[in-house]
Amino acid sequence: MASMRKIQFSVGVMVVVGLVLLVGVVLFLTQNRLSRSDVLFETYIRESVQGLEIGSPVRYRGVAVGRVTEIALAAAEYRRPEGEGFAAAFQLVVVRFAVNLVRVGDVPSTADAVAAGLRARLASQGITGVAYIELDFLDAERFPVPSVPWTPRYSWIPAVPSTVAQVTNAAEALLRQVQGIDFTGLVANINDLFLDLRRQTDTGEIAVALREASSLMQELRAIAGSADVPGAVAELRATAGAIKNLADGREIRETLSAMGAAAQDLRRATARLPGTIGQLESGLRAARNTTTDVQADLAPVLRDLRAATSNLRETTEALRRSPSQALWGAPPPAPAGATR
C-alpha cells in the first residue's frame, strides 16, 4: 500500500513538472509574437552590432518601449540590381524592431518625427556588454537623413553612430593627425631654436641689450646716490605750497569771480540773441519792402527822364543841322508856277 502511494506521488510530480515545462516552452515560442499595438520599424547601422540579439530591448530615453525582432545584413535583405556596383549602403546591418505604441503614447507620424530629429543608435547596458537600441530626438541638422538605394519594407528611423563609435572615430582621427607630425623635424627645430637663443644671449643682440641695460641701471644707481633727494623733495614740497597759496589768494578768487560774472553775462546775451536775430530779420524784411516800393515809384520817373533825354537829343541834332530854321522857323512855301 505504501509503495502504491509512492508511485502515485511520483507520477503526480512528473505530471506537474511536465505541465510547467510545457507552459515554459509555449511562452518561449510565443514571446516574440507581435501584439496588436506593436508596430515594426527598421534602421540601418554601420558599426558592429556585437552584443545585440533578437529580443534585446528598445528604449526611448531609458524607458523600454519595444524589442528587437530581426537582425540581418543589408546585402542579404535588399538585393543589388544587376550591373550595379557594391555600394557602401550594402555594408550596413539591418535591425528591425517592434515598438508598443501604447507605451509610447501620443506621438506624431514617423516622417514628422524623423524630420524633428528622431534617431536610433546602438547603446550598451553598463559594463556587461549587453546591447540595445536607443531612440531619442537629436539635432536634425547635425545628423541629416541619409539616402539608401532601396525602398525600406517598414517604417525607417535613421541611425546615428553610438557614443563608443564616436569616441573611437575621434581617437582614430587624432591618431592619424599625430602620426602625420614630423617629430624628428620638430625636435630638430626646437634644438636649433635653443642654439640660436644661446648664441644671442652670449654674443648676439640680446647680450648687447643686457649689457646696455646693466650699464643704464648702474648709471641710474649712481645718479640716485649722488643726487640731493631730500633737497629735491623739499623743493617740490615748497613748490606745491606756493601753488596752494596762489590758488587760495585774493587775486585768484577775484579772477574766478570775474570769470563767473562774465559767464553769466554771456549766458544772458546768448538768451537775448534769438530775439535780436528776430528783430534783425524784421528790419531786413522792412528794408526789402521799402526798396521794392522805391523801385516801383522810380520806374515812371525813369521812363519820363528817358523820353526827355530823347527829345533833347533830337532838338540838339536839329540845331546842329539848321540853326536858322530852329531860330526863325521854316521859310514860306514857294508860289505856284514859280521857278528857281
Check whether residue 210 and residue 136 sit in a common domain: no
Average pLDDT over residues 160-166: 82
Q: How far is CA 28 from CA 131, 172, 299, in A?
A: 21, 43, 128
Decide the pairing of beta strands 93-100 and 38-45.
antiparallel
Range of the domain at 216: 183-226
Instruction: Give kind and range of the element (H or E) at residue 62.
Output: none
Check whether residue 52 and residue 138 sit in a common domain: yes
Is the residue at 244 inside a domain? no
Rounded to an integer, what distance in angstroms lies between the CA atom of residue 86 and that of residue 90?
A: 7
Decide the pairing of beta strands 155-156 and 38-45.
parallel
Average pLDDT over residues 232-239: 78
Check whether residue 138 and residue 218 sit in a common domain: no
Q: Which of 96, 88, 89 is nearest to 49 (CA)?
A: 96
Is the residue at 127 inside a domain? yes
Is the residue at 259 inside a domain? no
Q: Is the pLDDT of residue 95 over 90?
A: yes
Q: What's phi and psi for 119, nearest 5 deg?
A: -135, 155
Check whether residue 62 and residue 138 sit in a common domain: yes
pLDDT by residue (tens digit) across 138-147?
998 999 998 8
Decide the pairing of beta strands 155-156 and 57-60.
unpaired
Instruction: Give kind and range of the element (H or E) at residue 244.
Output: helix 229-248
Q: Sheet holding 155-156: strands in order across?
A: 118-125, 130-137, 57-60, 63-73, 93-100, 38-45, 155-156
Average pLDDT over residues 16-25: 74
Q: Higher confidence at residue 37 or residue 199?
A: 199
Is the residue at 70 inside a domain? yes
| Lookup result for grid cell 541638422 | 141
Q: Which three cell numbers stand for residue 204?
A: 648676439
User: What is the CB neighbour count within 10 angstroms for residue 96?
Assistant: 18
Task: Say whether pTM exceeds 0.95.
Answer: no
| Ranges of H-type helices in 31-131 | 74-77, 101-104, 110-116
User: What is the CB neighbour count within 10 angstroms for residue 73?
Assistant: 12
Check whether residue 135 and residue 82 sit in a common domain: yes
Is the residue at 58 inside a domain? yes
Check whether residue 195 and residue 124 sit in a common domain: no
* Number of domains making up the chain: 2
Q: Is the pLDDT of residue 50 over 50?
A: yes
> N- to C-terminal Cα distance for the chain?
210
Instruction: Give kind and range of the element (H or E) at residue 173.
Output: helix 163-179
Q: In the structure, what pLDDT confidence band is assigned to residue 43 with cuts at 50, 70 and 90?
A: very high
Q: Which three cell numbers stand for residue 80?
A: 543589388
Average pLDDT over residues 1-21: 74
pLDDT by residue (tens digit) across 167-225?
877 887 888 888 878 778 888 888 888 888 887 777 777 777 888 888 888 888 887 77
Q: Which of 165, 119, 170 is nearest to 142 (CA)?
A: 119
Asked whether the CA dihedral 105, 106, 111, 112 is positive or negative, the reply is: negative
Domain limit, last residue, from 113, 129, 160? 160
Q: Is the pLDDT of residue 102 over 80?
A: yes
- Cα 270 from chain centroid (whole Å): 50
Check whether residue 207 and residue 103 sit in a common domain: no
Q: How far is CA 63 from CA 43, 116, 124, 200, 333, in A?
A: 19, 20, 14, 68, 147
51 close to 164: Cβ distance less than 8 angstroms: no
- Cα 185 from chain centroid (whole Å): 39
Is the residue at 12 inside a domain? no
Check whether residue 156 and residue 187 sit in a common domain: no
User: What is the predicted pLDDT for the residue at 327?
Assistant: 56
Check whether residue 145 and residue 57 sit in a common domain: yes
DSSP three-state, residue 254 = helix
Q: What's phi and psi for 256, nearest 5 deg?
A: -65, -40
pLDDT by residue (tens digit) across 327-339?
555 555 555 555 4
User: What is the predicted pLDDT for the residue at 340?
Assistant: 45
Residues in the chain: 340
Rounded to an integer, what distance in angstroms lies between the CA atom of residue 159 and that of residue 334?
A: 140
